[in-house]
């Protein structure tokens, strides 16, 4: 009986575009494929120096692009693999998962010509055929050269000449040019909605704030803010929170961190900000409230949720919104943090937001105890509230 046939389409997909889809559709028809598996890459070893878009964004875009084609599906095997991703590991894993399939690993001619630099490239042929897609057969005359033992495993197919490249698309988005008809509509919408390929520093208001932060904060603190923006963006994607709001809240959260105690007290007096007894003696507890005031008055941020997230990022509070939780957590786990257990907490943050937040609050409380500092009641209320919430969720 004929084996079912599977095409394997690996790639960075940054972003996926109509060229990829046309190739997949063409080879799927030519080789009577029953399935084409799209595999967005994790951390590809040969693209070490390039900045690659967040993997969850690339995953979502592929998901949108292939929706509606029943032969196309997506796999997270490379995205979820820790460390560098090598094709040999992928094809081996696929072979274990789909032993009954005849497999064709689809690759461009340029990539094939680099194959010998790949890890354990000879072993790749034990798990899959390789299907080289090319624009012209003339170019591939010598393609089998040096692969004598594997000739029967190498296939070459001519696909329509489509001059679309992901790099070109990214440049167009950055320049605010149309990418209509280059990517599926759903991908175009996703890119717009999530502001992918738009450098944060290109947006005028954020740019202004960033340059002010760069001038006023110590370099380490500025780096921390960029880290919080990054973490907040990832968490907002995971937890379905408006990404723009998360970015703005992260951008402002430590805005007044450079001020000393006198500056803060003066600012508070001039702007009619009142602090409770505990806050008024602690600069750490004042900086969120002051940052909120600056965001509102100087930069006209009026969204109550953003403002609350800025204000309560240090203490938390009872009944925190999703955005508030997210900013508190992003501040705690951003990429520059390196305390013991941070990796585990990063993991939990993408699995259970409330649980992660409780852990972060516990860490904050423990730190305050060690330092002999006062714990603000809002922090304890936040913790108690979250524990109640969590047990309600469990139906206890």
Residue 254 binds to Fe ion (criterion: CB under 5 A): yes
Report whether 268 contacts 275 (CB < 8 A): yes
Report whether 86 contacts 39 (CB < 8 A): no
Please give the structure tokens belonging to residue 163. 């001059």
Q: Is 10 or 288 the residue whose CB approaches Fe ion more closely?
A: 288
Residue 324 binds to Fe ion (criterion: CB under 5 A): no
* Distance of closest approach, residue 227 Cβ to Fe ion, in angstroms: 9
- Give the separation between CA 295 and CA 327, rounded to whole angstroms: 15
Backbone angles phi, psi at 79, to 5 degrees: -65, -35
Q: Is 230 or 254 the residue whose CB approaches Fe ion more closely?
A: 254
Residue 359 binds to Fe ion (criterion: CB under 5 A): no
* Distance of closest approach, residue 284 Cβ to Fe ion, in angstroms: 8
Say what the alpha-carbon torsion angle 27, 31, 37, 42 is, to the nearest 10 degrees: -60
- Give the separation between CA 275 and CA 253, rounded to whole angstroms: 18
Based on the number of CB atoms within 10 Å of its own CB, is 17 exposed (0-12), middle (13-18) or buried (19 or more)? Answer: buried
Q: Is 27 or 329 the residue whose CB approaches Fe ion more closely?
A: 329
* Distance of closest approach, residue 314 Cβ to Fe ion, in angstroms: 5
Please identify which residue in 331, 333, 358, 378 interacts with Fe ion, judged by CB under 5 A.
331
Q: Is 254 or 293 the residue whose CB approaches Fe ion more closely?
A: 254
* Distance of closest approach, residue 224 Cβ to Fe ion, in angstroms: 6
* Distance of closest approach, residue 331 Cβ to Fe ion, in angstroms: 4
Please give the structure tokens belonging to residue 31. 């080789």
- Give the separation between CA 34 and CA 250, rounded to whole angstroms: 46
Q: Build a one-symbol-per-residue string for 96-135: x at contacts with Fe ion by CB under 5 A, - elsewhere.
A: ----------------------------------------
Q: Is 103 or 287 the residue whose CB approaches Fe ion more closely?
A: 287
Applying CB under 5 A, the span of 76-84, 169-177, 247-255, 265-273 interacting with Fe ion comes to 247-255
* Distance of closest approach, residue 287 Cβ to Fe ion, in angstroms: 6
- Give the separation between CA 119 and CA 44, rounded to whole angstroms: 12
Q: Is 4 or 363 the residue whose CB approaches Fe ion more closely?
A: 363
Applying CB under 5 A, the span of 152-160, 249-257, 352-360, 365-373 interacting with Fe ion comes to 249-257
Report whether 56 contacts 240 (CB < 8 A): no
Within 200-239, which residues bind Fe ion (CB under 5 A)?
none
The three-state secondary structure class of 229 is: helix
Based on the number of CB atoms within 10 Å of its own CB, is 358 exposed (0-12), middle (13-18) or buried (19 or more)? Answer: buried
- Give the separation between CA 231 and CA 233, rounded to whole angstroms: 5
* Distance of closest approach, residue 82 Cβ to Fe ion, in angstroms: 27
* Distance of closest approach, residue 341 Cβ to Fe ion, in angstroms: 18
- Give the separation between CA 346 and CA 341, rounded to whole angstroms: 9
* Distance of closest approach, residue 381 Cβ to Fe ion, in angstroms: 19
Applying CB under 5 A, the span of 234-242, 331-339, 345-353, 388-396 interacting with Fe ion comes to 331-339
Q: Is 254 or 279 the residue whose CB approaches Fe ion more closely?
A: 254
Q: Which helix (H) or strand (E) holds 334?
A: none
Based on the number of CB atoms within 10 Å of its own CB, is 392 exposed (0-12), middle (13-18) or buried (19 or more)? Answer: exposed
Applying CB under 5 A, the span of 109-117, 178-186, 212-220, 327-335 interacting with Fe ion comes to 327-335
Q: Is 94 or 229 the residue whose CB approaches Fe ion more closely?
A: 229
Q: Is 254 or 311 the residue whose CB approaches Fe ion more closely?
A: 254
- Give the separation between CA 102 and CA 62, rounded to whole angstroms: 23
Residues that bind Fe ion (CB under 5 A): 254, 331
């Amino acid at each position: 009986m004929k084996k079912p046939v599977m095409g394997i389409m690996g790639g960075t997909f940054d972003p996926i575009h109509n060229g990829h889809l046309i190739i997949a559709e063409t080879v799927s028809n030519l080789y009577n494929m029953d399935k084409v598996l799209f595999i967005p890459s994790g951390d590809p070893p040969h693209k070490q120096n390039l900045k690659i878009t967040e993997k969850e964004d690339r995953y979502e875009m592929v998901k949108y692009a292939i929706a509606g084609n029943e032969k196309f599906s997506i796999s997270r095997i490379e995205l979820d693999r820790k460390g560098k991703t090598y094709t040999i590991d992928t094809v081996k894993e696929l072979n274990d998962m789909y032993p009954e399939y005849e497999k064709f690993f689809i690759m461009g001619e340029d990539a094939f010509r680099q194959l010998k630099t790949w890890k354990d490239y000879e072993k790749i042929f034990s798990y899959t055929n390789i299907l080289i897609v090319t624009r012209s057969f003339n170019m591939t005359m010598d393609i089998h050269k040096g692969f004598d033992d594997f000739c029967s495993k190498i296939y070459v197919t001519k696909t329509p000449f489509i001059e679309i490249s992901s790099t070109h698309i990214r440049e167009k988005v950055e320049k605010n040019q149309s990418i209509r008809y280059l990517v599926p509509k759903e991908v175009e919408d996703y890119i717009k909605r999530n502001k992918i390929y738009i450098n944060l520093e290109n947006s005028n208001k954020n740019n202004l704030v960033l340059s002010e932060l760069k001038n006023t904060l110590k370099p380490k603190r500025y780096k921390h803010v960029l880290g919080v923006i990054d973490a907040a963006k990832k968490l907002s994607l995971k937890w379905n929170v408006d990404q723009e709001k998360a970015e703005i809240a992260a951008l402002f959260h430590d805005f007044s961190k450079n001020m000393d105690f006198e500056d803060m007290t003066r600012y508070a007096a001039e702007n009619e900000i009142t602090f409770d007894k505990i806050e008024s003696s602690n600069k750490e507890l004042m900086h969120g409230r002051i940052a909120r005031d600056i965001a509102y008055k100087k930069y006209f941020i009026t969204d109550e949720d953003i403002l609350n997230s800025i204000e309560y990022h240090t203490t938390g509070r009872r009944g925190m919104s999703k955005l508030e939780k997210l900013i508190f957590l992003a501040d705690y786990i951003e990429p520059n943090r390196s305390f013991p257990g941070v990796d585990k907490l990063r993991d939990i943050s993408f699995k259970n937001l409330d649980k992660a937040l409780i852990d972060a609050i516990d860490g904050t409380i423990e730190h305050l105890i060690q330092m002999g500092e006062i714990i603000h009641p809002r922090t304890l209320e936040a913790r108690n509230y979250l524990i109640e919430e969590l047990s309600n969720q469990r139906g206890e």
